[in-house]
Amino acid sequence: MEVKIDAQVGLTEVAAKEVKKAAKDQGMSARIRVQVQGGGCSGFQYGLAFEEPDAFDEKNDVKFQEHDVDIVVDKKSLLYLDGTTIDFHEDLSQRGFAFDNPNATKSCGCGQSFQAHKWLDECCSDEGLTAEEVAERSGIDISRIKRMMARRWTPSPQDRSKISQIFNKKPDELVWGHEATVNHIYG
């Protein structure tokens, strides 16, 4: 059973044609896995590969379909890829797949590596803060902070503001996740 969630990774028609052509040339089905991996010049890098249908993991993967191409994304990568559109460019300066990722705060010149806003648990780790210290500084209940750090709770705008101030960031500089994605992935 595949769970329907309120998130999306898309593929342009041009990219879909290129996937289908490459799949046919390689004797594969038009099914790709898109993922985020640590590394690259900006912290994260995109992964894109053909996938066999039996590799789908109902518990950890989500499947989309665009222009008759199946797109499989693991749920953790989806947190960084939600809203991304994959395109294909072929001109004098570039040939290959390109990712238009609204979650990327910075990308390198190659277009295969990106940086994203940080989650609360990542900010705490960077600053050496515990959940208890964040709760004390923000005045927010420790159980809510722990759920936020476990990426199981989307905070209110007031809580976002309080927490962001601890890290000298604006609320939109941290990833909070939208409730539909977070609840379906981790709930």
Q: What is the pLDDT of residues 112-160, one digit of tens each?
A: 667 676 667 667 777 788 888 888 888 888 888 877 776 666 778 888 8
In what helix (H) or strand (E) does residue 106 lie, and over which residues does it extend?
strand 104-107
As beta bridge partners, residue 72 has: 33, 63
- Token pair recorded at residue 92: 């004098």
Contact 62, 76 (CB under 8 A): no
Give the residue, 38 or 58, on which the prediction is more confident: 58
Amino acid at 168: N
Eight-class DSSP state of 116: E
Each domain of the chain, given as residue ranges in start order, spans 9-116, 120-186
Within 13 A of 173's CA, how many CA atoms are on the CB side? 10
pLDDT of 6: 56
Residue type for position 28: M
- Residue whose C-alpha is closest to residue 71's, from 127, 122, 23: 23
Q: What is the pLDDT of residue 142?
A: 83
If pLDDT is split at 50, 70 and 90, which confidence band does 26 have?
Answer: very high
9-116 with 120-186: one CATH topology? no
| d(C-alpha 84, C-alpha 61), whole Å | 16
Distance CA 160, CA 6 (A): 22
CATH 3.40.50.300 fits 9-116, yes or no: no
Name the band, by pLDDT with cuts 50, 70 and 90, for residue 106.
confident
Q: Which residues pair with 37 in a beta bridge?
A: 45
Assigned architecture for domain 120-186: Orthogonal Bundle (1.10)
pLDDT-derived band at 7, boundaries 50, 70, 90? low
Q: How far is CA 19 from CA 49, 64, 85, in A?
A: 10, 15, 14
Structure token pair of residue 132: 């208890």
Q: Residue 39: count other Cβ atoms within 10 Å of its Cβ.
A: 12
Residue 10 has pLDDT above 70, yes or no: yes
- How many CB atoms are located within 10 Å of the residue 46 CB? 23
